[in-house]
Amino acid sequence: MKKQITRLSCLAAVALLAAACANIGRPDGGPYDEQPPVMLKSTPMQGATGVSRKKVTIEFDEYIKIENASEKIVVSPPQQRQPEIEAIGKHIDINFLDTLRDSTTYTIDFSDAIVDNNEGNPLENFVFTFSTGDAIDTMEVAGTVVNAQNLEPVKGFLVGLHSDLSDTAFTTKKMERIGRTDSRGQFRIKGVKPGAYKIYALNDNDQNYIFSQKSEELAFLDSVIVPSCFPDVRYDTTWVDTVTIDTIIKVDYTHYVPDDIVLSVFQEDYKVQKLMKNDRSDKRKFTLFFNTKADSLPEVRGLNFDETDAFIVEPSLKNDTIAYWIRDSLVYNVDTLKLAVTYMTTDSLMLPVRQTDTVKAVTKKLFEPKRRRRDKEETDTVIPALGVNLESLTATFDGYKDITVIFEHPLDTFQRSKMRIMMKVDSVYEDIPFNFVPDARDVRTYRWLANWEESAEYRLTVDSGTIRSIYGLVNDRIDKTFKIRPIKEYGMIVFKVRGLDGRPAYAELLNKNDAPIRKVAVEDGEAVFNYLPAGQYYARLCIDTNGNGEWDTGDYSKKRHGEEVYYYNAAIDLKAMWTIEQDWDLYARPLNKQKPLEITKQKPEVRQKKNRTRTYPGA
C-alpha cells in the first residue's frame, strides 16, 4: 500500500509540473519578437563630454549579439590598435587600446551590427558618441562610392577626411575622420568639426589609413568640401498595406551637407613589366609571358642561333603574351634555344630603364603512347592538314560582317585563283568579286570581304592545297553554304548624346550581364548601332581622353582620375524593323543613380526575415 501511495504521489507531481510548464507560454509558442533592441543606459552617457575613461559600456533591454563586427563597426578617429568590442548578455563593452586624444569627438558607428539574440532583429544606424573635450562635433558628410569603370557600388571601402589640404596628406598622414561604405556603396562620416576638408576613398589593404601601396584602390575629389547644416523638413509616410497610405507625418530635422558626394574608385596601373615565364610546348613556337601590358614589343636576340628573319611574331592585344613562330627547321630542331630578351621596365626610382633577361626555351617532351608497328606505319603515311577555324561562318550570316578564318600556323602562300565565292541566282551559283586579306593585328587571321545581298544564298569553296603554312602544311577542301540574314530581322538604336562638349568618346551596347557586345565611336554627338537583332539592350559611354578606344585608369601622383564613364539609365527593348532614337544627357542623373539595377552586380543587401511558421512534433 505504501509503494502504491508513493507511485501516485510521483505521478501527481509530474502532472503538476507539466501543467506549470504548459502555463508559461501559449500553445502556439507565443507572439514573435519583431522589435530591435533598445538602449537603456551607458557609461559614459551618450553624447557625454570631458570623458577620460577608455572603457564604454552600453546596456540594452534584452540579450544581444554583434554580427560582422569587422565589416560593419567603424571607430572614428581611426585607431592604431582596434578597440576590443564584445557583447555580453544585455550589454556591450568597448575597451579602447589607444590613448584617447584630447578635445576629440569619438564616434562608434555600429551600422546594423547589433541584433537581438533570439530573432536577430537589427538596431539600425546606431552610433555612440562621446568627447574628451568640452563639446561634441556634430557635422556630417555623406555620399556614395562607385567603381570608375562600371559604376558598380563599392562595398567595404574606407572613406576619410583630411583637414590638411595638401596633396601629400593622403600618402603620408592617417585619415582624421572615417566612414565605411555599405552594400549600396553609401557612406556617412560623423563627428566632423567645422572647417575645410579633402575627401578620399581607399581599399586600405594594410589598414594604416594611408594610401601607401600602389595595389590599393582609391578615389579622390579635386574640390574642397566644407561641411555645414541647416534646419529642414521631410515627410514620412506610414502605410496601411502596400498600396494604401495611412498618414503622412511632417518631421523637422537638421540637414547636414554635403550629402551627395560621389567618389569614383580606380586602381593605378602600378605594375612594373617583368618577364614571368616562357613556353615551348610546340618546338616550332615559343611564347613569352609578361605580367602586364606594354606599349612596345621586346627585342629578342639569339645566343645560340641567328635571329635574323627567324620569327613571325604574334603579339596579344596588350603585348603581354607574345608568340614567336620559328621559320627555319635548323633553328626549331634545336632542343634548347638561348635568347636575350630586352624590354622596358623601371628602376627603384620608377624611372624607365631597359632590362635584358637571358631565357632558355626548351622543347617539351610530349608523352606519346606506344603504338603497334602496323599502326605506326599507317599513321606515318598520313600527312596532316593545315588546321582551319571557320567557326565565324554560320549557316545564317550577318551581312554587315566579313568572313573570318583563323589558321593553325602563319601562312607562307595561298592561291587566290582557287578560291571562289558564289551567289545563288535562279538555282545556279554565280561567281562574285571578293578580297582575301590578312587581319591588321593577328598574323594567323584572314578575312574574305564581299558585298553581301540580304536574303541571298552563297557558297564559299577553297580547293585543297590552296593555302600553305610556313611549315608546308596545306588545307583540306573547304565547301560552305550560307544565307545572309534579311534586313527585316534587324533594328537600329541611335543615341543623341548631350554633355560631351567636343570630347572624344565611344559607346558600348551591353547585355543583361553588363558585358559589351558592340562598340562604336561617338561622332557628331551620335552613337549609331546598326544591324541589331531584336532584344533588350543597355548602354554605357566612355570619355576616351587619349583616343585609344579603351578605358584608362587614373594616377594619383598626376591628379588624374580614371576616364569618365556614364550609363544610360534604362533598358532599351528593340523590335525587328524598329529604329529607336534616344536622347542621352550624361549629366541628367548623378553617377551613382545611372546604372540600371537589373545589371548591377553589387545588389543592396536585404536582411532576410526568419520563417515565422513553427512546427511541433506530432502536429
- Is 375 in a helix, a strand, or coil? helix
Based on the fold, state whether residues 292 and 350 are members of the same structural domain.
Answer: yes
* CA–CA gap between residue 576 and residue 531 (Å, rounded): 10
Q: Reply yes or no on whether the pLDDT at 23 is more than 50.
A: no
All three cell numbers of 312, joined, read: 613571325
State the pLDDT at residue 383.
75
Asked whether residue 317 is assigned to any structural domain, the reply reads yes
State the pLDDT at residue 49.
96
Query: Cα 521 to the chain's mean position, in Å?
Result: 24
Asked whether residue 267 is assigned to any structural domain, the reply reads no
* CA–CA gap between residue 113 and residue 136 (Å, rounded): 24
Residue with cell 530635422: 253
Across 240-244, 325-329, 335-339, 401-405, least confident range: 240-244
Percentage of residues in the chain with pLDDT exceeding 70? Answer: 90
State the pLDDT at residue 11.
44
Q: Tell me the residue ranges of DSSP E strands in 242-335.
A: 245-257, 261-265, 275-282, 285-290, 299-302, 311-315, 321-326
6 pLDDT tier (thresholds 50, 70, 90): very low
Please, are residues 478 and 461 in contact by the beta-carbon 8 Å criterion?
yes
State the pLDDT at residue 501.
94
Contacts of 231 (CB under 8 A, 6+ apart): 252, 253, 254, 255
The CATH number of residue 418's host domain is 2.60.40.3710
Across 210-224, 263-277, 367-381, least confident range: 367-381
State the pLDDT at residue 34.
79
State the pLDDT at residue 457.
97
State the pLDDT at residue 107.
96
Asked whether residue 357 is assigned to any structural domain, the reply reads yes
* CA–CA gap between residue 320 and residue 228 (Å, rounded): 50
Based on the fold, state whether residues 581 and 493 are members of the same structural domain.
Answer: yes
Over residues 561-565, mean pLDDT: 98
Please, are residues 218 and 557 in contact by the beta-carbon 8 Å criterion?
no
- The string of pLDDT tens digits covering residues 127-157 is 999 999 999 999 999 999 999 999 999 999 9
Please, are residues 150 and 515 in contact by the beta-carbon 8 Å criterion?
no
Asked whether residue 550 is assigned to any structural domain, the reply reads yes
Asked whether residue 131 is assigned to any structural domain, the reply reads yes
Over residues 437-446, mean pLDDT: 95
* pTM (two decimals): 0.85
- The string of pLDDT tens digits covering residues 105-128 is 999 999 999 999 988 899 988 999
Based on the fold, state whether residues 424 and 474 are members of the same structural domain.
Answer: yes
Q: Reply yes or no on whether the pLDDT at 360 is more than 60.
A: yes
Based on the fold, state whether residues 408 and 459 are members of the same structural domain.
Answer: yes
Asked whether residue 96 is assigned to any structural domain, the reply reads yes
Which residue segment(s) compose the domain that 79 sits in?
39-136
Please, are residues 321 and 275 in contact by the beta-carbon 8 Å criterion?
no
Asked whether residue 619 is assigned to any structural domain, the reply reads no
State the pLDDT at residue 4.
44
- The string of pLDDT tens digits covering residues 156-193 is 999 999 999 999 999 999 999 999 999 999 999 999 99
Over residues 428-452, mean pLDDT: 96
Percentage of residues in the chain with pLDDT exceeding 90? Answer: 80
State the pLDDT at residue 271.
85
The count of domains in the chain is 4
- The string of pLDDT tens digits covering residues 231-247 is 999 888 877 777 777 78
All three cell numbers of 362, joined, read: 626548351
Asked whether residue 367 is assigned to any structural domain, the reply reads no
Based on the fold, state whether residues 436 and 509 are members of the same structural domain.
Answer: no
The CATH number of residue 292's host domain is 2.60.40
Q: Return the number of other C-beta atoms located less than 10 Å from residue 184's C-beta.
A: 17
